[in-house]
């Protein structure tokens, strides 16, 4: 009897210790499948009154704006120097996008979009109010983008930008100059228009698949930020057109997309993204109901069609410009 009680006590103690161990294990960090952080471009959701005929899926590579595209609405009193200021700062804002190159020469055949600015008010004025100087800048203008003479995009109503600077009387030398005031209001207005034409870059988590031996191995490596290693062990399998493991093919796409954003030049990024897109399309064709695969294909396709397509066209156009500049022979 005593022996049986002793065994029962030891058995109970074992159960308690085992349960405690399980609880400790559950409380620790849980290893889970995550994926790779990648960059994607998306359409800018902020339209701010600019309506376009098309969605601009292919992106805009170049845009012309010059003194001749800055128009004075009757009564605005726009001077020639004002037109130059507006055109100059508009080109600067377009260049800031890195995706649209500002042209200083109009293309005669209407191949590139033209930014037309119809100015109703453009002013900078400083007055004294008590112990302060108050400087006010106003830019009130409508915008349209034309190509081949037809309007592609336009603002439904003129865009108004007003700025105010307050300067203490004893700091009169700190009053912003007319040129600085005008630069500020023009740039803000043009940014509000142009940024609507440029896709927005953001970071997203691209999840991985874990079903199957190869997919499980590559998922583990991608989670450990070893995208190059994940692709290396899967390439021999997934590059075979007869290979049908959709999850492993998709993971190869994740690895390559991850590698793409580690490249230092956009040509290398475009090359890797194009490869990733092919894997995503193959995987989605094998598993058409998989949302991750379809989303990845859609994301990379849009990124290539906008930012990278635009840069490719810029390169081709620069080559044509260089040919035209090159001295000919008789």
Mean pLDDT for the stretch of residues 147-169: 88
Dig out the tokens for 229 from the structure: 């290693």
For residue 18, is pLDDT > 80?
A: no
> Residues of CATH 3.40.50 domain(s) within the chain?
60-198
End-to-end CA gap in the chain: 119
Instruction: Report d(CA 135, CA 144) in Å as an integer.
Output: 29
Do 291 and 206 meet the contact criterion of CB atoms below 8 Å apart? no
Read off the pTM. Answer: 0.66
Element (H, E) at 161: strand 159-168
Q: Phi/psi zone of residue 180: left (φ > 0), alpha (ψ -120 to 50 degrees), beta?
A: alpha
Mean pLDDT value of segment 264-289:
94
Which has the closest alpha carbon to 280: 291, 269, 266, 268? 291
CA 196 vs CA 51, 200, 204, 209, 241: distances in Å: 10, 9, 21, 35, 41
What local confidence, expressed as pLDDT, does residue 87 receive?
97
Rounded to whole angstroms, the Cα distance separating 252 from 283 reads 10
pLDDT of 133 above 80: yes
Name residue, tokens 């005031």: 181
Helix, coil or strand: residue 328:
coil
| 288 has pLDDT over 50 | yes
Please state, in angstroms and as integers, the Cα–Cα distance from residue 233 to each residue in 139, 221, 241, 263, 269, following that order.
59, 10, 17, 20, 21
What's residue 265's pLDDT?
82
- Asked whether the predicted pLDDT for residue 15 surpasses 50, the reply is no
CATH level 3 topology of 60-198: Rossmann fold (3.40.50)
CA neighbor of 275 nearest in space, from 295, 260, 296, 288: 260
Round the average pLDDT of the chain to a whole number and report it. Answer: 83
Instruction: Look at residue 241 and tell me whether its pLDDT is greater than 90.
Output: yes
Dist. CA 55–CA 58, nearest whole Å? 9
**Which tokens go with 296?**
């990845």
Backbone angles phi, psi at 221, to 5 degrees: -70, -40
Residues 6+ apart with CB under 8 A from 287: 246, 247, 250, 293
Q: What is the pLDDT confidence band of residue 109, given thresholds at 50, 70 and 90?
A: low
Give the C-alpha separation, 184 to 191, whole Å.
11
């Amino acid at each position: 009897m005593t022996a049986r009680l002793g065994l029962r006590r030891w058995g109970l103690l074992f159960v308690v210790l085992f349960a405690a161990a399980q609880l400790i294990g559950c409380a620790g960090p849980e290893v889970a499948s995550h994926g790779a952080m990648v960059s994607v471009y998306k359409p800018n959701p902020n339209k701010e009154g600019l309506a376009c005929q098309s969605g601009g899926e292919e992106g805009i590579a170049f845009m012309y704006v010059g003194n001749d595209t800055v128009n004075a609405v009757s009564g605005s009193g726009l001077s020639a120097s004002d037109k130059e200021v507006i055109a100059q700062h508009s080109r600067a804002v377009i260049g800031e996008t890195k995706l649209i190159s500002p042209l200083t020469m109009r293309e005669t055949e209407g191949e590139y979009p033209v930014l037309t600015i119809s100015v109703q008010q453009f002013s900078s004025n400083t007055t004294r109010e008590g112990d302060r100087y108050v400087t006010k800048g106003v830019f009130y203008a409508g915008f349209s983008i034309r190509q081949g003479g037809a309007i592609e995009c336009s603002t439904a109503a003129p865009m108004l930008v007003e700025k105010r600077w307050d300067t203490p009387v004893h700091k009169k030398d700190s009053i912003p100059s007319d040129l600085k005031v005008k630069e500020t209001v023009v740039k803000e207005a043009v940014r509000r228009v142009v940024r609507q034409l440029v896709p927005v870059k953001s970071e997203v988590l691209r999840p991985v698949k874990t079903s199957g031996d190869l997919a499980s191995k590559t998922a583990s490596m991608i989670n450990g930020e070893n995208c190059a290693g994940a692709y290396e062990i899967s390439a021999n399998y997934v590059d075979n057109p007869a290979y049908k493991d959709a999850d492993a093919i998709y993971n190869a796409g994740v690895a390559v997309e991850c590698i793409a954003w580690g490249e230092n030049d956009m040509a290398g990024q475009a090359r890797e993204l194009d490869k990733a897109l092919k894997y995503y399309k193959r995987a989605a064709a094998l598993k058409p109901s998989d949302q991750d695969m379809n989303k990845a294909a859609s994301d990379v396709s849009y990124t290539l069609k906008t930012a990278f397509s635009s840069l490719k066209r810029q390169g081709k156009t620069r080559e044509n410009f260089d040919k035209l500049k090159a001295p000919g022979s008789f």
